[in-house]
Structure 1
Amino acid sequence: MRDTIYALASARGRAGVSVVRVSGPRAFEACRALCGDVPAVRRASVRNIEWAGEVIDQPLVLSFAHGASFTGEESVEFHLHGSQAVLSAVLSALSEQPGLRTAEAGEFTRRALENGQLDLAQVEGLADLIDSETEAQRRHAMGLMQGRLREIADAWRVQLVRAAALIEATIDFVEEDVPVDVVPEVMELTTAVLLQLKQEVQGFGAAERLRDGFEVALVGRPNAGKSTLLNALAGRDAAITSTVAGTTRDIIEVRMSIRGLPVTVLDTAGLRETEDEIEQIGIGRTVDRATAADLRVFLLDGAEVPLVAPKPGDLIVRGKADLTTGEGLAVSGKTGQGVAELVDAMGVALENRMASAATINRARHLEAVSRAIRALETAQGEVWAGSDRVELAAEHLRQAIHALDSLIGRVDVEDLLDEIFSSFCIGK
């Protein structure tokens, strides 16, 4: 018999409510041992938890039948009063129940995958949802968790299975050309899928940045007001400011949300020619980091910024707007003038890059889609080559279908599971 597992499913520490989850074939038995009975499934009921002759707590108890729980197994949840003493006593009582053990990291979700409650892309979406910090991250993760990628992959699969069936039907025509009425439909089906797969690849970078966060670099000459602006954006003194040029020697980072997007703003060393060895190191790091950033905000003080050139879409801003006048976007970190407008401009620039964001957002997804693209392009070449190549075309279509199956975890994922679930907390 498979082990029954239990763990705290809510955050650790003092709280109004702490949730302990139990899942497996002995979950109901454990509930009876502690509460005297099992409440009707999916109906919250108040029960006393009694053990060793005393009442430990009076929690809300929920039960879920086999096939109708998160894990797909019989499950029970104890919604306890959230003190450490209550939690420790309940976990201790569960540890004494036969056939029960503490869950490992991600084991509840792993069982949901193994029992067909979730596919692998949904599991990854759940992990992203737990880690989400901004509204845009939450929305994208929720879409994955609700099966958006599976729906897309299933639609691709239907079209490719149809194309493969058409090709397979021609294999019997060994002495003839591929029937002319088959080729157009095969090419139409595979071309439609190829187009969508390539769009996913093109939008992968934006989706990955949504998941991991965008970087915006403040770039300018020394004493242009970058550190003061960073402090204004952060709402705190994140960077040291002074009138001495070259005060910032290293890169300072502030994490924030702009229009629901996760953004790390970088305060970089002032760019200038210098003989100071330490400052040169900071400037070198600035050039590298600013070049790699998703967006650069050039803070001008009346002179050109050396070493780093603006790219299309970068923002050119006049700094120290409280001391100077001129046209265009201007900002003063000291007084706050123009800060809201700058944040809005940064948000618009990043949202424009998100317009083409893909559904796929992990390296594993990109690799599977890329394999499918290569297989489909080869299959199309074999179709055009004539009847003596139809078997090869059919094989490459099967490879494309296999790649898409791996995208949502139907095949070839066993070696990935330990790595994926190691990032989950114990109670999930």
Structure 2
Amino acid sequence: MIIYALSTGTTKAGIAIIRISGNGTKELLNKIIVNCILKPRIATLCKIKDHITNDLIDRGLFIWFPAPSSFTGEDMAELHVHGSKAVISALLLTLSKFNNCRLAEPGEFTKLAYENGKLNLLSVEALSDLISSETEIQRKQALKILSGDATKKYTNLRDRLLKILSNIEAKIDFPDEDLPEDILKNIKIETKDIINLINEILNDSKTGEKIRDGFKISILGPTNAGKSTLLNYLSKREVAIVSNTEGTTRDLIEVNLNLDGYPVIITDTAGLRKTSDEIERRGVELALKSAKNADLKIILLDAKNPYFSTFLDDISDKNSILVLNKSDLIDGAINLDNAKLKKYILVSLKEELNLDNLINEIKERLKDKFLINDNILISRERHRLNLEKCNYHLNVFLENNSISEFDKAAEDIRIASRYLGKVVGDVDVEEVLGKIFSDFCIGK
């Protein structure tokens, strides 16, 4: 089966690239390319025709990648043509006329690369993240994982586990043979070291996931403090309705932003107050839930009446920034006797006063959260869950008072190595493949 797809965007452009992969690709090319010799990995100018009508479709470049030295591991080609809709449509129609040739599904080229051993599961995910990256820090993280350093570290840990398992299974297979005492002693020492290394990977404040998904910032405060106005200001567009009527915002309004190169998700929430209105009460519950899940909370109060309610007192912590709005309406001292937070930033959203200080404070908080180092090896929740399950079974193994329970010990180590292998895809990971490849665009 041959698959094909447009790998570049669908908007009008100077160049469009159409990928073709599968057994029979060479024969297909010989039928649509006029008088050109297929030279591996060399861009060649050619005429491209309809193989049935012989009508000229376009003049462009083709590159031939014979198996196994291709992205998919199969025979593969790229056709670089002019990016008009007419040219693209004509070429795709021509390809559809071949037997055993169909349009590729989303992510199918990458899936073939995975199935043919060109990429492991970590690399596939990193490639998806690279394509989806919108900020510099996301691009760097995706490239770091794609480079293979993370794969090497996980593979090394799994190899060490398999060595432990082989020593234990040797005792099971040959019960009459005595394993050297130093090997039995080193088994648990080695296991403890692996647990410590995995704990170091897990102890990353979930920075990798935050870089990939976005740093969560919740704007919280009483009604009519200016939360929606602040969201619109940071978004540089009107995404939330602003009104003098209290309780206008009753649901969560989320906006994805690139804030000085950092990916953030800013959420406007319902005003925090006690209410008998069922819909507004639900909005308050959602606001409190958003506060609980936020990486940073902007607590916005009216400078004229900066009352720190019980709601705000409960959610205030070191990851909070206190902002007092409507500074243009005050001329005296501000009373913060009841406030849990004493340090604040005074702004006026209406007059756009002192907002640079707020944005700079947010950026400083982001820098502290987004420090990238070589220990950041987790970018998705499934990585973390598998590592946690791996460590659980390693700890169960260590809790055995005697190494004599070899059958049970071998099973714990075997399960632990299986969970570690799932991170890079060395074992069956079919349950996650569908979700991962569906995130790709067609043509990749």
- TM-based fold match above 0.5: yes
User: Runs (4+) of structure 1 moved beyond 6 Å?
Assistant: 175-178
Check whether the contact 2:107–2:438 (CA below 8 A) recurs between aligned residues.
yes
Residues 1:394 and 2:410 aligned together = yes
Check whether the contact 1:7–1:20 (CA below 8 A) recurs between aligned residues.
yes
Deviations 1:322-352 (A, max 9, x none): 4447774222222333323322322333443
> CA separation in 1, counterparts of 2:381 and 2:283?
31
TM-score if structure 2 supplies the norm length? 0.86
Cα distance change on mapping 1:251 and 1:394 into 2, 3 Å: closer
> CA separation in 2, counterparts of 1:158 and 1:221?
55
Residue 298 of structure 1 deviates from its aligned partner by 0.9
Cα distance change on mapping 1:68 and 1:252 into 2, 3 Å: same
Alignment of 1:170-185 (within 5 A): 174=175, 179-185=180-186
Tell which deviates more after alignment, 390-399 or 102-111. 390-399
Q: Which residue is equivalent to 1:303? A: 307
Check whether the contact 2:295–2:319 (CA below 8 A) recurs between aligned residues.
no
Q: Which residue is equivalent to 2:338? A: none
Q: Give the partner amino acid of 1:316.
A: L
> CA separation in 1, counterparts of 2:317 and 2:283?
22
> CA separation in 2, counterparts of 1:186 and 1:165?
11
Check whether the contact 1:220–1:271 (CA below 8 A) recurs between aligned residues.
yes
Check whether the contact 1:207–1:361 (CA below 8 A) recurs between aligned residues.
yes
Alignment of 1:18-417 (within 5 A): 18-36=16-34, 37-51=36-50, 52-168=53-169, 174=175, 179-203=180-204, 205-275=206-276, 278-301=279-302, 302-308=306-312, 309=314, 310-324=316-330, 328-355=344-371, 358-382=376-400, 384-386=401-403, 388-417=404-433
Q: Which residue is equivalent to 2:11? A: 13
Tell which deviates more after alignment, 79-88 or 414-423. 414-423
> CA separation in 2, counterparts of 1:80 and 1:253?
40
How many matched pairs?
Answer: 424
Cα distance change on mapping 1:296 and 1:103 into 2, 3 Å: same
Give secondary structure in 1 for the equivalent of 2:95: helix
Check whether the contact 2:72–2:112 (CA below 8 A) recurs between aligned residues.
yes
Q: Give the partner amino acid of 1:318.
A: L
Give secondary structure in 1 for the equivalent of 2:144: helix
> CA separation in 2, counterparts of 1:175 and 1:77?
62
Unmatched 5+ residue regions in structure 1?
none
- CA RMSD, 1 decimal: 2.7
Cα distance change on mapping 1:45 and 1:340 into 2, 3 Å: farther
Residue 314 of structure 1 deviates from its aligned partner by 1.2
Residue 276 of structure 1 deviates from its aligned partner by 5.1
Check whether the contact 1:171–1:390 (CA below 8 A) recurs between aligned residues.
yes
Residue 152 of structure 1 deviates from its aligned partner by 1.6
Cα distance change on mapping 1:241 and 1:367 into 2, 3 Å: closer
Q: Give the partner amino acid of 1:50.
A: K
Cα distance change on mapping 1:282 and 1:79 into 2, 3 Å: same
Unmatched 5+ residue regions in structure 2?
335-342
Q: Which residue is equivalent to 2:339? A: none
Residue 260 of structure 1 deviates from its aligned partner by 2.9
> CA separation in 2, counterparts of 1:161 and 1:110?
28
Residue 318 of structure 1 deviates from its aligned partner by 2.2
> CA separation in 2, counterparts of 1:331 and 1:38?
69
Check whether the contact 1:199–1:358 (CA below 8 A) recurs between aligned residues.
no
Tell which deviates more after alignment, 203-212 or 262-271. 203-212
Tell which deviates more after alignment, 197-206 or 41-50. 197-206
> CA separation in 1, counterparts of 2:370 and 2:191?
27
Check whether the contact 1:221–1:300 (CA below 8 A) recurs between aligned residues.
yes
> CA separation in 1, counterparts of 2:205 and 2:93?
47
Residue 150 of structure 1 deviates from its aligned partner by 1.5
Check whether the contact 2:158–2:420 (CA below 8 A) recurs between aligned residues.
yes
Residue 118 of structure 1 deviates from its aligned partner by 0.3
> CA separation in 2, counterparts of 1:276 and 1:381?
54
Q: Percent identity?
A: 37
Q: Give the partner amino acid of 2:308.
A: E
> CA separation in 1, counterparts of 2:14 and 2:197?
47
Q: Give the partner amino acid of 1:291.
A: K
Check whether the contact 2:256–2:265 (CA below 8 A) recurs between aligned residues.
yes
Residue 142 of structure 1 deviates from its aligned partner by 2.3
Residues 1:426 and 2:432 aligned together = no
Residue 262 of structure 1 deviates from its aligned partner by 2.2
Check whether the contact 1:405–1:411 (CA below 8 A) recurs between aligned residues.
yes
Q: Which residue is equivalent to 1:4? A: 2
Q: Give the partner amino acid of 1:35.
A: I
Check whether the contact 1:230–1:333 (CA below 8 A) recurs between aligned residues.
no
Deviations 1:206-236 (A, max 9, x none): 4333322232111122222222222221112
Cα distance change on mapping 1:48 and 1:142 into 2, 3 Å: same
Q: Give the partner amino acid of 1:397.
A: I
Tell which deviates more after alignment, 39-48 or 72-81. 39-48
Tell which deviates more after alignment, 150-159 or 417-426. 417-426
> CA separation in 2, counterparts of 1:288 and 1:413?
33
> CA separation in 2, counterparts of 1:188 and 1:97?
61
Give secondary structure in 1 for the equivalent of 2:4: strand
Residue 56 of structure 1 deviates from its aligned partner by 0.9
Give secondary structure in 2 for the equivalent of 1:407: helix
